[in-house]
Structure 1
Amino acid sequence: MQTSDNARRELESLIEFYTESGVDCFIGEEAVDSFVLSEELLRQQQAMRSAAQSGAFSPPSSKGPADLGRPVASASFERPQPLAQGAGAQRQNPLTAPVAGGSFADAVMPDKEAVASAREAAREAKSLDELKDCLLRFNGCNLRLTAKNLVFADGNPNARVMLIGEAPGRDEDLQGKPFVGRSGQLLDKMLGAIGLDRSSVYIANVVPWRPPGNRTPTPQETEICKPFIRRQIELAQPDVLVFLGAASAKSLLDVQDGIRRLRGRWMTFEAGERSIECLATYHPAYLLRNPIEKRLSWRDFLSLRQKISTLGQI
């Protein structure tokens, strides 16, 4: 009996370890060579494009679920056009069709065409609600296939202060809101220390889907998502931007400096026709691992409070 209890506790500990590590789904028994898979997907995508241009395209035959070499969706962003006369239907663009989610057969190549389609989709959004709806329909980023929820934003969209992180974590993915885990709790305390809360700030991430296992987003994934966060900033029209961590600051300011050189100094972010004053500081998750750096973040937040005061906000 005791042996059974020990085995159960060991199994529970193993499951807890996997969960904390970000492993929240079953995977296959056999390893997959991603390099070979990528080459095969690229060849099939090129073949599909060539067939489409010559007018000889026909849908591929159905293959078994174990076949990982199925064609990927073409990363183009074009308006649905009528099919040949008598077809009685319209062809949907794979990057704007509603996302069913979960099937890797829907994966796309993260290429320049995917980035261009993201720019066009983001540019067409005229409000934050339209932008969120656009992201829900956007199929150009493969992170949507492993994430449980789109993590769009939290807080007050009319606030004068907008905070931007890099990407959601496990808790954020489950709740569909940014900064709700341990780092979010610390962020709330940091905001409260200067008289702010979630009703007086607007919070978002550069990448709105959680990367599997909380890994760092790839440069391609960040580039595909950047047009959406840029448009989100333009539509929210904050007076002050705060970049939480080096990743969000470097990707949106197009700089290579580390957070130690970026933090604490005011810079300018160009959002359409507006120039927005911005400040970079440490990410709350980094502060949880390095509490001694909280003193520097406190200086940054004091500087933020002083900046807001000059704008007549508090």
Structure 2
Amino acid sequence: MDSVSDYWNDRALLEWQVELGATDAIQDTPIDRYALEAVKPTPKPAVPKDGPPPIPEKVQVDPVAIAQAAATAAVDLDGLAAAMQAFEHCELKRGARNFVFCDGQCGARVMIVGEAPGREEDRAGKPFVGRAGQLLDRMLAAIDLARDHAKLSRAVYITNVMPWRPPSNRAPEPAEIAMMLPFLERHITLADPDIVVLMGNTPCQALLGRTGITRLRGHWTEVLGKPCLPMFHPAYLLRNPAAKREAWADLLALNARLRD
């Protein structure tokens, strides 16, 4: 019963204080308000009036400059192949099955530069192994040249402008050619052939800065200080058999230069 009487007594006192005008409850011990003012809450970071802070701009990279540095650092063909495989700025790499670097014999007098791997090349990891590659082998054999010729003086070394297959065998885009050009130029320097043969428009665009293979073929020019002969790509000859006559004339011109 004491607890009940205490309750009604406390309630009567509370109602009496309210009638007197009390608005805040008091505690058993006094509160030092000055001490509370000294402890100030940590302010929240101010939000800019114009909205959230701007997102930092993405750092732009120059794939051509990166390729140039990587190619220059390569001191041999194995190092160049490793540098090209490590290059992450060409989107073709993500869709290709294999990296296609070269075929034939290092130290050969003739270096053939094609365009890009096709389906069969992508599968095999070697350039010119499909129908066009088989035609190329027959063309070379007609003037006693071969990838695996017993005589190094009659061997050939083969590569492409692009080491990865473009989707649906499309032509490489100018930006793709530009970023892989430093590797190609370094490839020619390290392979050090006597003659460079450019087969098709893409290598002519990359190394000569010109296209129009029907006008360029058969006319000797120079690439990186080396004699250079543009020729029809074997794939073009498969589509246009009548052009084999001009291709034969170019092969004879190549053989004559080798015998000089």
> Structure 1 length normalisation: TM-score?
0.62
| Secondary structure in structure 1 of the residue aligned to 2:58 | helix
Counterpart mapping for 1:176-191 below 5 A = 176-191=125-140
Is 1:264 aligned with 2:214? no
* Unaligned residue ranges in structure 1 (runs of 5+): 1-43, 50-73, 76-112
Q: What's 1:192 paired with? A: 141
* 8 Å Cα contact 2:172/2:202 also seen in 1: no
Pick from 123, 147, 157 the counterpart of residue 72 of structure 2: 123
The AA in structure 2 aligned to 1:262 is L
Post-superposition CA distance 1:224-249 (Å, at most 9, x none) = 11110110000000000000112211
Pick from 169, 181, 189 the counterpart of residue 118 of structure 2: 169
Q: What's 2:200 paired with? A: 245
Counterpart mapping for 1:125-144 below 5 A = 125-144=74-93
The AA in structure 1 aligned to 2:180 is C
Pick from 226, 229, 250 the counterpart of residue 184 of structure 2: 229
Pick from 156, 159, 172 the counterpart of residue 217 of structure 1: 172
Q: What's 1:159 paired with? A: 108
The AA in structure 1 aligned to 2:195 is V
Q: What is the total number of aligned residue pairs between the two structures? A: 200
What is the Cα deviation at residue 261 of structure 1? Answer: 1.3
Is 1:294 aligned with 2:249? no
What is the Cα deviation at residue 201 of structure 1? Answer: 0.3
Distance 1:236 1:122 in 2: 13
Distance 1:211 1:247 in 2: 13
The AA in structure 2 aligned to 1:285 is A
What is the Cα deviation at residue 253 of structure 1? Answer: 1.1
What is the Cα deviation at residue 203 of structure 1? Answer: 0.2
Post-superposition CA distance 1:281-303 (Å, at most 9, x none) = 10000000000100100000000
Question: CA-atom RMSD, angstroms?
Answer: 1.2
Distance 2:227 2:247 in 1: 18
The AA in structure 2 aligned to 1:237 is D
Distance 1:266 1:222 in 2: 23
> Structure 2 length normalisation: TM-score?
0.75
* 8 Å Cα contact 2:111/2:197 also seen in 1: yes
The AA in structure 2 aligned to 1:289 is R
Post-superposition CA distance 1:121-166 (Å, at most 9, x none) = 1110000000001111111111100001110000011101000011
What is the Cα deviation at residue 47 of structure 1? Answer: 2.3
Q: What's 1:309 paired with? A: 259
Post-superposition, which runs of at least 4 consecutive aligned residues in structure 1 deviate over 3 A? none
Give the greater-gyration-radius structure (CA).
2
Q: What's 1:285 paired with? A: 235
Q: What's 1:29 paired with? A: none
Percent identical pairs in the alignment equals 50
Distance 2:110 2:90 in 1: 28
* Unaligned residue ranges in structure 2 (runs of 5+): 1-54, 149-154
